[in-house]
Chains A and B, each alone.
Chain A
């Protein structure tokens, strides 16, 4: 399939980062506003799906030199390990903690293990969705 969509490709180059930013924003704001790991991960993966749709797989692979199966595995590892971490501090499995930290630029910020847990969820969703879509699209060629 020969493509000649210059406009789409040019737009995608910018939009890709906007979507990524939106995904991260959704993921971070999840604690107090609509959003969260699952949606964040889905948005991130939709950004990649867009990339794959506009460019061919080889080009995107050159730009993103990581295996999405591994991303998913990393996500699961993160989610599970936050649970185990609380055990090491003598708390029940999967207890979450939050701290209020004074950061130089952001001011008073809330940091919590829940964010790590949600990051795990997001990465798993990202990895799995892209893996499935890639798997199907590679298969039919």
Chain B
């Protein structure tokens, strides 16, 4: 299905085009070009929805590095579809909103390039079937979000936030890659679909638990789960459209996607349930408790996102119990939890997206997001107020908004744990609904803070420079209105979503229960007087009471234990690492080439020594060696003479010439051994380096015999002797020892396979072309590095002279 492949690449192509089109469409108008991309993709994806709900899925494979098992394969099924629709749908709205949000003076072209880059990367994450490809896109989302968070890079806080998010998510990503590689060693495939098919084999392997933990670490860091959530509030330094997009609808949900995607692989083990649901619930509680104390509306929303993501995560954890259940009634009970997770995922994107946009509007119109400076806006900004009300009440889980439905399902899922016979600890079963309930109370409180402290009460006296409040222009309101209407519409027609969008996704999460009755429960707006609704009533009552007396108990937050934040730990860790690094650097960067050579040699001797003595592999076998000809001995003799002579050279030019003699002798040796390619290379390299030497030579200080102390001379002599011995021993050992079967037979057919008679060249240009390509890249980077180092130093020198 080429459409899916296009869906990934169109944003990237558009991102490349933005700088050029920006020259034609100056200012804000570039946004109208950008918006066509997600809108177009949204429409073509939407057209595939009916066929997906009929059970179709689109797999498209394309060889990338087939020899390493890496195929660029895309797979569109129900689960990917939810995310792809969110990415493109919310993406369109965010672009529309950003057209009016960003001022003309901003670097709009740069902004949209990053945004499209991010969009493509995110689509790549959810649509790729190959783990390596997924990983590439996964890290690309980290990088592009880094660029977006640091969009206002002149601010210190923006740079700090960007660095923090990048450090945490990329670390998690690398750990996840290790997990992927473990999965590869177990199964021999990188394909997600094949992994799911081989889940029994994976579960039986000893690497199962480590792989699971590593994959989860990747997901948790990305989805800002406790204790990795600390990057998300700082990421709020990004422009508000970015926050609405990355930190509510898309990037943070990549972790959720990963957990949902890997549920069929790992969920058979009860550890998965414990980790995912406990971390999720803890995150939910921690996030909601911390959200209440925030005074910046955006920071409040950031913590609420952390909390809501935790809630979705815990639901996925509970949903995994279906794999270890035997009775069909239980299976239905637990699959309902995953259903609630996916349902809440969509709901969260709608209401949180609209709330972020509302905060952006407030910031844009009033110049502040501080709750203390806001108030009484309900009559001045009626539309904004309505949207905020809808969004917050939905987040608090109140009817008639979609958050109510998923919140009820959440309570139901947490209560269903008591029926699980896989769990033995009774206290834990009780603890789950209680923690969920407390978390919901705090959620209710901060939702009320958003609505009442911003829109009701007295209008605080305007600060100097604060603009008078007025309703935002209608263009800026379109996107939040659309999202707000969705919040209500989903409440009225939840089952439409259930059948067409969530149903196929459930099949992807539970492949073995596909088509089972009850896998897609019918969502009822009124579900009777059960325990969940009583819990909701309790949330409202307790929440309202606590909100009413907020100022009396808010002092609790100043208590020691709550003051202790992970942020401080992160900052001190960063500082310590920097200090250790600078101490390390100062110790070994002495500025003396001799020292560096000594370090390299010592390391070499050590590794060879450990290798040889550690494995006791001293096998000298000279039986197969060819006889040494007289001309070869002469060349070697010349080499030995010249190298010894260098030691006693009186002038630099003698040393350079002797070194040249050494190099050309090696070239002659290559000729004797019938390696013309090597000989040619050696001769030319020798020539060029001699020229380089001569260039430097002109400017080098006088050649002096150094008078070092005896101990240093002995030390240097020992290092030199030891490295010479090591090289000799290795060279002799290689003769009688072959670890691997020889590969030269493979190259006998080189001319047929690669069409070239020169085997060296066919290896370089064909069989190992990938190596050569990367070598060329390295060479290029090294060249630029040398150039810029040399240039930079000179520039600095000029500056110094000016200062004088």
Contact = CB atoms under 8 A, between A and B. Distances in A.
Interface of A: 26, 30-39, 42-43, 45-46, 49, 53, 69, 72-73, 75-76, 79-80, 83, 87, 90-94, 96, 98, 110, 112, 114, 117-118, 120-121, 124-125, 127-129, 131-133, 135-140
B783 A96 contact: no
Interface string B413-432: 00000000000000000000
Nearest to B766: A96
Nearest to A30: B761
Contact of B769 (A45, A90, A96): A96
B47 interface: no
Contact of B680 (A35, A46, A129, A138): A35
B681 interface: yes
Contact of B780 (A90, A124, A137): A124
B776 A114 contact: no
B460 to A, nearest CB: 57
Given A39-B680, A49-B691, A135-B790, A31 B783 contact: no
A8 B755 CA distance: 43
B783 A72 contact: yes
A69 B787 contact: yes
B50 interface: no
Contact of A96 (B765, B779, B786): B765
16 contacts: A31-B755, A32-B758, A34-B676, A36-B758, A36-B765, A46-B691, A53-B691, A76-B777, A83-B769, A94-B770, A98-B755, A112-B755, A121-B765, A124-B776, A128-B782, A140-B699
A9 to B, nearest CB: 17
A42 B688 CA distance: 8
Contact of B65 (A73, A93, A96): A93
Contact of A31 (B681, B687, B757, B786): B757
Contacts of B791: 135, 139
B780 A46 contact: no
A138 B791 CA distance: 9
Contacts of B770: 83, 93-94
Contacts of A121: 765, 772, 776
A39 B684 contact: yes
A102 to B, nearest CB: 17
A71 to B, nearest CB: 10
Contact of A114 (B684, B766, B794): B766
Nearest to B791: A135
A101 B429 CA distance: 77
Contacts of A83: 769-770, 773
Q: Kindly list the 4 A-B residue pairs having the minimum CB-CB distance in the complex, ordered from nearest.
A: A128-B783, A32-B757, A34-B676, A98-B755
Interface residues on B, range: 35 or more
Interface in B5-28: none
B758 A30 contact: yes
A136 B790 CA distance: 7
Nearest to B777: A76
Interface of B: 62-67, 676-677, 679-681, 684-685, 687-688, 691-692, 695-696, 698-699, 754-758, 760-762, 764-766, 769-770, 772-773, 776-777, 779-780, 782-784, 786-787, 790-791, 793-794
A92 B680 contact: no
A36 B688 contact: no
Contacts of A94: 769-770, 773
Contacts of B773: 79-80, 83, 94, 117
Contacts of A49: 688, 691
Contacts of A137: 695
Contact of A42 (B684, B692, B765, B772): B684
A136 B696 contact: yes
A79 B764 CA distance: 12
B764 A36 contact: yes
A31 B756 CA distance: 5
B685 A33 contact: no
A108 to B, nearest CB: 13
Contact of A133 (B62, B691, B776, B794): B691
Contacts of A43: 684
Contacts of B691: 46, 49, 53, 133
A80 B769 CA distance: 10
Contacts of A93: 64-65, 770
Contacts of A118: 761, 765
Nearest to A75: B776
A132 B786 contact: yes
Contacts of B681: 38-39, 42
B696 to A, nearest CB: 7
Given A36-B761, A124-B776, 8 more contacts: A32-B756, A39-B680, A79-B776, A87-B64, A96-B765, A125-B776, A127-B780, A133-B695
Nearest to A83: B773
B758 A33 contact: yes
A96 B677 CA distance: 21
A32 B691 CA distance: 30
Contacts of B65: 92-93
A120 B780 CA distance: 11
B783 A133 contact: no
A140 B697 CA distance: 11
Contact of A92 (B63, B687, B755, B760): B63
Contacts of A39: 677, 680-681, 684
Nearest to B784: A69
Contacts of B793: 139
Given A34-B677, A121-B772, A135-B790, A46 B756 contact: no
Given A34-B676, A117-B765, A132-B786, A124 B779 contact: yes
Contacts of B676: 34
Contacts of B764: 36-38
